[in-house]
Amino acid sequence: MKTPRLPTRLSGSTLVVASTGVAGLFGYAIQTVAGAGLEASAYAHFSVFWAAVFLAVGSMSGVQQEVTRAARPGAQGGEAGRRLLIGVLAVAVTAAALVVASGALWAGVVFADDGGASLALLSVAVLFSGAVAGIAGVLYGLHDWRRVALVISLDPALRFLMVGGSLVAGHAEWLPTAIVAPIPVTFVSALLLVIPRLRQGVTVDVATTRHLVGNISRAIVGAAATAVLVSALPLFIGAAARDISATQTGALLFNLTLTRAPIVIPALAFQSLLVVFFRDRLTHVARSTLLMTGGAVAVALLVAIVCGILGPTVIGGLFGDGYRLSGLPLAFLVASSGLTAGLSVTGAATIALRRHTAYLGGWVFAALAAVVLLFVSPGDTITRSVVALSFGPALGLLVHVTAIWRARSSSRV
């Protein structure tokens, strides 16, 4: 009787999950190191610039989502590859130009200390993150999981080294550059990874570059709305924090980032993988979406209970009383993350069903509602944050679920 051989290679999904986990750990470590190395008031400024950069990076992830859906293995010759290249570059260059052109209206307010340098760094982040997202989307669409895993892991690993090195060296002024610099480095590496695959052949299911750019543009608006609800929250909460000090603002933002990230970030990071999953199983989209969304909400509720009981003691003990936040509001903030994670699942399903308008509407309505509620709801900043992060995503979920239900009723799923 032969002894069964153990598999020597990881499956594609395992590779992506593992690399996404590694990337999430690096991002989490960056926030932890920043909290340990900065006072709460200084962390508030770090968090605002981080939020601005990752609002841009998160917006450009829409490029990845649409290219993932559109690209498949095949042989359309060089024309398909050129169409992808032109479409992605057109969108990335246009977005960076819009950031620069509009910067005079807002850079001095958002980046009060050094608006010009911060704006320049932000435009670099937009340009190169768009290009990286396009390359990653091609690799996802081609099911080239090994190269996808490398692209996912490289950027946060470099950022951790640069941010950590800046803090260890005692040069907090280097932090903005340390946040942005890994993006162009990742672009060069990703470009070298994707060229051999393009030579093997790729097909694109959109007929013209104009059509591709249109789809990408809608996905970017949706991704920007996603970023507002996740990575850009410190930007808006900081602006809405009229009744608390910079130290209290830093404490709120640090707790929000540290406790919600383990739930929200993986759901967002897996969106391209979920698009492929749903795209290849359209007959079961509705059921799969329901199960995954319910699972995300259930996990968030469990984590919220733990954070409400242990969070203030643990965070206060590790990072100092300046970062301590009361248990009950912390629990509500964490619980709301399940709705945002669920919105990531339903968003991937609507893209797989080619319901781009519904995808866009869900995230845009969720983001707009959250921002408006953050500024106009009654109560203090923490209460308004809870209301905004609960009702905004709930509205977006309603839009997505309605679209999926209509597709099911028309026998499409």
Residues 353-373: tens digit of each pLDDT: 888 788 888 988 999 999 999
Secondary structure (3-state) at 94 = helix
The mean pLDDT of 217-230, rounded to a whole number, is 82
| Of 388, 364, 366, residue with least CA distance to 376 | 388
| Of 222, 182, 228, 269, residue with least CA distance to 55 | 228
Longest CA pairwise span in the chain (Å): 75
What pLDDT does residue 112 have?
65
pLDDT band at 172 (very low <50, low <70, confident <90, very high): confident
What pLDDT does residue 124 have?
95
Query: What is the percentage of the chain residues whose pLDDT exceeds 90?
Result: 28
Weakest-pLDDT range from 25-29, 182-186, 241-245: 241-245
d(CA 273, CA 143): 9
In the chain, domain spans: 11-220, 232-413
Above 80 in pLDDT, residue 136? yes
What pLDDT does residue 4 have?
44
What pLDDT does residue 3 have?
45
| Side-chain-facing half-sphere of 372: CA atoms under 13 Å | 10
| Of 354, 366, 360, residue with least CA distance to 395 | 366
d(CA 324, CA 320): 7
Secondary structure (3-state) at 309 = helix
Contact (CB, 8 A) for 268 and 344: yes
Average pLDDT, rounded, for the chain: 84
Above 60 in pLDDT, residue 411? no
Direct distance between the N- and C-terminal alpha carbons of the chain, in angstroms, rounded to an integer: 46
pLDDT band at 10 (very low <50, low <70, confident <90, very high): low
The mean pLDDT of 343-347, rounded to a whole number, is 90
DSSP secondary structure code for residue 106 in this structure: H
Weakest-pLDDT range from 169-178, 181-190, 214-223, 365-374: 214-223
Token pair of 341 as six digits: 């994670």
Above 90 in pLDDT, residue 205? no
User: Tens digit of pLDDT for each residue in 30-47?
Assistant: 988 998 888 888 888 888
* DSSP sequence for 139-169: HHHTT-HHHHHHHHHHHHHHHHHHHHHHHHT
Tell me the pTM: 0.78
DSSP secondary structure code for residue 323 in this structure: G
The mean pLDDT of 374-395, rounded to a whole number, is 91
